[in-house]
Amino acid sequence: MNPSPNLVLIGPTGAGKTSIGKRVAERFSLEFIDVDHFIVERAGASIPALFEHIGEAGFRQHETAALNELLAQSGKLISTGAGAVLDAGNRQRMRQAGFVVYLRVSVEAQLKRLGRCSNRPLLQQPNREQVLREMAAVREPLYAEIADLTVDTDGLPPPEATARLIHLLAQRWQRTESFA
């Protein structure tokens, strides 16, 4: 049991962090925050526009600032961007201020779920499968490193994945009001 003031969802693009996260947040009376949407609102620009104007490094700075602000609060379900785990400081902060749930999904399922998605700058390449496999090779060990709980979402529609996660959280997570 890892008592924490927040739930933090991590995992690759297409794992279900947003769709599952909204339902789980409602069940546990948490405020749902999608970090990417939070950044877009604050910056006043879309993710593709941010990548175009400030690059991935600039976007990652916005991401770290957003995570620091959100993780300093309590009562949140924070759906992170897929690359948030790339920064060691982000990983440390998520572990300190949240119960971290890794939503795992295969590259094959990602490809099906993402279809022709055009709002993810790192996937705007001719060979999406290769890009996703390369990302997975780097990121999967980082997701696993900080996860308090891992849930496979392959082959599960969002309601089933949500029910599974809610059941597991009821057994393994205790919400606290704040942290030291």
Quick count: other Cβ atoms within 10 Å of Cβ 89?
10
Confidence of residue 40 (pLDDT cuts 50, 70, 90): very high
What is the residue-averaged pLDDT of the chain? 89
Residue of 128 and 151 predicted with greater confidence: 151
Annotated binding-site residue? 19: yes
What mean pLDDT is predicted for residues 129-145? Answer: 93
- Helices 35-43/47-71 angle, 10° precision: 110
Is there a binding annotation on residue 36?
Answer: yes
pLDDT at 10: 98
**Residue 16 known to bind ligand:** yes
pLDDT number for residue 179: 47
Question: How many domains are there within the chain?
Answer: 1
**Residue 17 known to bind ligand:** yes
Cα–Cα distance between 17 and 6 in angstroms, integer?
Answer: 15
Q: Write down the pTM of the prediction.
A: 0.90
DSSP H helices, 98-174, are: 107-114, 128-146, 158-172
Write out 97-118 in H/E/C secondary structure: HCEEEEEECCHHHHHHHHCCCC
Interval 4-13 mean pLDDT? 94
Whether 78 is covered by a domain: the verdict is yes
> Per the domain annotation, does 158 fall within a domain?
yes
Please check whether residue 125 lies inside any domain of the structure: yes
Angle in degrees, CA 171, 8, 2, rounded to 5: 40
Please give the Cα distance from 25 to 78 (Å, whole number).
Answer: 9
Amino acid (one-letter) located at 49: A
Structural domain contains residue 33: yes
pLDDT of residue 160: 95
pLDDT of residue 126: 64
Mean pLDDT, residues 107-122: 67
- Read off the pLDDT band of 118 (50, 70, 90): low
Pick from 25, 19, 20: which is nearest to 7 by CA? 25
103, 158 contact by CB (below 8 A): no
| Residue 83 assigned as binding residue | no
pLDDT of the residue at 67:
97
Tell me: is residue 152 an annotated ligand-binding position.
Answer: no
Residue 179, in any domain of the structure: no
Whether residue 180 is predicted with pLDDT greater than 50 in this model: the reply is: no
Q: Is the pLDDT of residue 123 over 60?
A: no
Tens digit of each residue's pLDDT (9 = 90 or more) over 56-97: 899 999 999 999 999 999 999 999 999 999 999 999 999 999
The arithmetic mean of pLDDT across residues 5-21, rounded, is: 94
CATH number assigned to the domain comprising residue 115: 3.40.50.300
pLDDT value, residue 119? 53
Question: Is 139 a known ligand-binding residue?
Answer: yes
Per-residue pLDDT at 76? 96
- Whether residue 180 is contained in a domain is answered as no
What CA–CA distance (Å, rounded) separates 11 from 152? 10
Residue 153, in any domain of the structure: yes
Tokens of 99: 């119960």
What range defines the domain where residue 74 resides? 7-172
pLDDT mean over 112-120: 62
11 closest CA partner among 131, 136, 116, 128 = 136
The answer to whether residue 177 is domain-embedded is: no
